[in-house]
Amino acid sequence: MRNFKQKLIIGTRASRLALAQTALFIEALLNAYPDMSRDAIIVKTIKTSGDRNQTDRLDQIGGKGLFAKEIEKEIVNGEIDVGVHSMKDMPAVDSLELSIGCWLERSDHRDGLISNANLSFQELDAKSVIGTSSIRRRSQLINLRKDISINALRGNVDTRIDKLNKNEFDAIVLSIAGLKRLSLDHMISYIFSDDEILPASCQGAVGIQMHSKNDELSTFLSPVNDSKTERLCRLERDVLREINANCNSPIGLLAKEINNNVILSCEIFDHAGQKIYENKLEELKDLSNDLGKKMGQDILAKVGQEEIDKLYKLDNDFNYTP
């Protein structure tokens, strides 16, 4: 029987944000196991396909799973014990060989705007150029303001901010959770409310992936797991699985607990920024396990699988000009 307190190998991407999220996991581990030495934890950085290709759009080269597959391969091969992932970047369908061993407590789920002139979203001039790589954000921003321009922006958080500082964009939109983890949230000039922009499924949540048949490791990770985050994020992922959608699709999803109820909200947009679906389901917390599947079935009844499949990839130029 292996003692993971004596040695645990963690795989992660090498970006500052990925390493910051790995540090959060390590601190959670050490809090759960005060007798575990920091020296027993080995961090291995892994370059993924998504890191190597910083030019092409994600929907054209295989989706956001490109940030995970090399890490997943090393877990399957036994080269690392666990992988650290931003769960919004993970495909909705889990591999049979792999599972999420634990979830860290979800951070701020919202999107934030950083503008060169420290302006709010409403204060931006018409035809201001906003940078994003997200098809979801692209559609949501166009829905809110059809007089602004959207240009594609790939790269890690530091790269994107550097391009903003070089005046290649008037503003950029990023996850607030990522900015907070990098202590860059002071740069935010506007926070989008949930009524304006629903986040991607699981935005702000970090998952620790492991081999699904490793019962000893599952037991070891159990004290680190945030059950509320797991419960709500699984509902969001259930919606995507039910409609065979992808984390790259223009779909906003958010599950919240309010008092003893769970509220699941969903919005779907076409690539022209038109909202084609909006719904909110509420259920008692103890009865909410099927809420994601119910939402997915409602989407299929009202929108249809054929229309959902069309949203998987943006066939036209990503850039939008009014």
Whether 158 is catalytic is: no
Angle between helices 157-165 and 16-32 (to 10 degrees): 140
What is the b/e burial string over 144-153, where b = at least 16 CB atoms within 10 angstroms of the residue's CB? eeeebbbbbb
Residues of the chain with pLDDT below 50 are: none
Tell me which residue of 113, 110, 111 sits closest to 256, measured CA to CA. 110
Give the CA count within 13 Å in the CB-facing half-sphere of 117: 12
Identify the pLDDT of residue 92: 83
Task: Kindly give the residue spans of alpha helices, DSSP state H, lying in 243-321.
Answer: 291-302, 305-310
AA identity, residue 150: I
Q: Tell me the percentage of the chain whose pLDDT exceeds 70.
A: 93
Give me the chain's average pLDDT, please: 92
- List the structure tokens of 247: 């984390």
Catalytic residue among 51, 59, 89, 238: 89
Q: Give the global pTM.
A: 0.92
Tell me which residue of 233, 240, 227 sits closest to 202, measured CA to CA. 233
Q: Do the Cβ atoms of 320 and 142 come closer than 8 Å?
A: yes
Identify the pLDDT of residue 273: 96
Q: What's the rounded Cα separation, in Å, for the pair 211 and 293?
A: 26
- List the structure tokens of 242: 């039910």
Identify the pLDDT of residue 81: 97
